[in-house]
Amino acid sequence: MKINIESIFHNLRIPSSKNFTCEKFNNSNLWIVKDEIGNCGILINNVEESRVMKDYKNLICEEIPKLRTDDILLKNVFMVRHNDLIIPNLFSESLNSYFSDNLKNEYTINDIKIALDEIEAITKNSKDKLNEIIGAWGELYLLKLLLNSTSKENYRYIINGWESPDGRSLIDIKLNKIKLCIEVKTTTLDARIHHISSIKQVSSSNQLEGFLASICVTEGLGLSCFELTSKINNLLDDENKIIFNNRLKIRGEKLCRNKKYLFKLNGKKTPRFFEFDVVPKPSISEEILKIEWDMTLENIFSLDEPQFLKKIKF
């Protein structure tokens, strides 16, 4: 009897083209599904009641009279899968969170409706947390990049420049010694679309030259935040480790030590660095007190990693 949906989904193999693999949950009529691109879903079979459903954002609901997988044949199937805008591990985590507390031998369409309403809320909260983990990963990646690009006597300046000893800072990294600051934005999208929560995030002062680091990543393979944190600690001496680990607490230790989610750089969208002056900004007047916006950084002049690292001269 298998009741951990995350484990069931993880162990399902990728099926052949236009097909599915699936396995029963808790010996019930609820099956966990993996499709040909690795997305997650659930289905119930032998359905007889009405299938009228509301529209769920980012979910695909299907009625299938006969579903032949690589291994079995199921009849009168109702299946729900997420689309490509949801990370599979996030969806399986949300399913597990709900169904592990709602065990039954026989699930109905109404049970699925109730589950989807609950999962919709769980997914939103989990997605917010995941976005925070993605953001922390990008900052840790850039810290490691900066440390690897210079000599050990400069490590203290870099670690001290991340966040602030007094709390979170508006701009992620400030290297006052070389008059440079960096705001790090990280996304799992295939386009450089980033959210700016304050005009001050992309505005430099005190004669600092400002850059926005745009980092595009893919989820599922690569390194976790915990592994990046460990790699950085391995570079540091004891005194710098104390400073770094204090900054981890300020940034959010649970985020920076997360082991669950793995990321790697998007091979088609390598990191780019944009001067604050070229970052798109809305027009604002002095009567506006706060503004935030989404923007795309395609087709705007930027530097690649080697070009940017040439500016790091302590």
Q: What is the mean pLDDT of each run of 10 residues along the chain (314 residues)?
A: 86 87 93 93 86 73 86 89 84 89 90 85 71 95 97 95 76 92 94 92 86 95 96 96 94 92 95 96 84 93 96 83
Give the pLDDT score at 51: 62
SS (H, E, C) 29-69: CEEEEEECCCCEEEEECCCCCCCCCCCCCCEEEEEEEEEEC
E runs forming strands in the chain: 20-24, 30-35, 40-44, 59-68, 73-82, 173-175, 180-187, 193-196, 209-223, 263-265, 272-275, 293-296
Structure-derived torsion over alpha carbons of residues 146, 148, 150, 151, reported in degrees to the nearest 10: 140
180-187 vs 209-223, strand pairing mode: parallel
Residues 6+ apart with CB under 8 A from 122: 94, 97, 98
Amino acid at 264: K
Cross-strand partners of 263: 219
Q: What is the pLDDT of residue 50?
A: 64
Which pLDDT score is estimated for 242? 95
Confidence (pLDDT) at 123: 66
Neighbour tally for 64: CB within 10 Å: 16
Strand partners, 181: 174, 210
* CA distances for 54 relative to 60, 86, 118, 275, 307, angstroms: 11, 19, 14, 45, 51
pLDDT for 17? 80
Phi, psi (5° rounding) for residue 236?
Answer: -100, 150
Quote the pLDDT of residue 122.
Answer: 65
SS3 128: helix
Reduce the secondary structure of 158-180 to three states and give it as a string: HHHHECCCCCCCCCCEEEHHHCE
Beta bridge partners of 304: none
Q: Answer yes or no: are the C-beta atoms of 81 and 59 closer than 8 Å.
A: yes
State residue 308's pLDDT score. 96
d(CA 141, CA 229): 9
pLDDT at 83: 84
Which residues, including other chains, have CB under 8 Å from residue 17's CB and lie 6 or more apart?
A: 36
Looking at residue 154, its pLDDT comes to 95
Are 102 and 112 in contact, with CB atoms under 8 Å apart?
A: no
Give the closest residue to 42 by CA, choosing from 88, 80, 97, 85: 80
